[in-house]
Amino acid sequence: MKSKFEYNRTAITEFILLGLVETPDLRPVVFVVFLLSYLLTVGGNRSILAAILVEPKLHTPMYFFLGNLSVLDIGCITVTIPSMLARLLSHKRTVPYGACLTQLFFFHLLVGVDCFLLTAMAYDRFLAICQPLTYSTRMSQTVQRILVAVSWALAFTNALTHTVAISTLNFCGPNVINHFYCDLPQLFQLSCSSTQLNELLLFAVGFIMAGTPLALIVTSYAHVTAAVLRIRSAEGRKKAFSTCGSHLTVVAIFYGSGIFNYMRLGSAKLSDKDKAFGIFNTVINPMLNPIIYSLRNPDVQGALWRVLMGRRPLA
């Protein structure tokens, strides 16, 4: 018979994801709802991307970044939802250790790029409104590509750092994750090693990955607000603010749900509330972005209509 010490040293090779609901009767409902949400999100973001590609009016830096954001939204929901749907169909809730870390890596990679991309979009609005005379040179195609490339490089470094750090922890049991995808807070709760350094690393890197971009976004929009308020005509102020409203809405939802998701790190028990924040991060945000950006934008609406109807773009 194994001693307690020997049992605790046994390595876990797979985790059990409880998913969103444990009641069998509710699983078909959850499957249909999230399948429709996935199809709507992928379809909406692909439509936005197609509209940007085919409509000459949308070949501007702002829509270049928006197209990249649509690609990220498709990737973010694809990392988590299809595997959850597959588990609902197969009634198999286990996920291999390696697959869990892989999902964690790609999730943090895509979310990290999202942080920096939203910052680049705020910088674009700052240049367009506050420094219009130098906008075309300071936001050239080369600058746009550099900003996107740097965003991917920094996010890759962040995701790799957290994945390597979590792989150094020991998992001896239990192996049940009360969530529908693998993420750092849930894995910290299951580790039989000390996670103090990992949590410090998460907060330190999180300050760089989220705090710094958020500070830059706030600074950019403080200058934008001051510049817009100096515009004498009410129509001019309305037009300037309308180009920023959609982006600010996306920023508020993205950072709001992200902060609440990780601010409870270190709590004694992670509850079902964390699943709700997880749904915001992986489903609601990517699904709302196409709606938010097209709702009050006649150029995007017109381009989407022409894409859906198969009409040629206007010259």
Read off the pLDDT of residues 207-262 as tens digits, 9 standing for 90 and up.
888 888 989 999 998 998 888 888 777 777 777 677 677 778 888 888 877 777 66
Gap between the Cα atoms of 124 and 61, Å rounded: 7
Averaged pLDDT, 15-32? 87
Tokens linked to 28: 């078909």
pLDDT digits (tens, 9 = 90+) for 259-285: 776 665 555 455 566 777 788 888 888
- The DSSP element (H or E) to which 95 belongs, if any, is strand 94-96
Q: Please state, in angstroms and rounded to a whole number, the distance separating the CA atoms of residues 37 and 180.
A: 15
Task: Note the pLDDT of residue 311.
Answer: 63
* Cα 84 to Cα 80: distance, rounded to the nearest angstrom: 6
Nearest to 220 by CA among 137, 108, 128, 295: 128
User: What are the contacts of 29-37 at 24+ separation with CB within 8 A?
Assistant: 30/88, 31/85, 31/88, 31/89, 34/81, 34/84, 34/85, 34/283, 35/85, 37/81, 37/283, 37/287
Q: What is the mean pLDDT of the chain?
A: 84
Q: How far is CA 9 from the centre of its chain?
A: 36
- CA dist 255 and 115 (Å) reads 9
The residue-averaged pLDDT of 146-175 equals 92
Question: Quick one: pLDDT at residue 80?
Answer: 93
The pTM of the full predicted model, rounded to 2 decimals, is 0.87
> Looking at residue 139, what is its pLDDT?
94
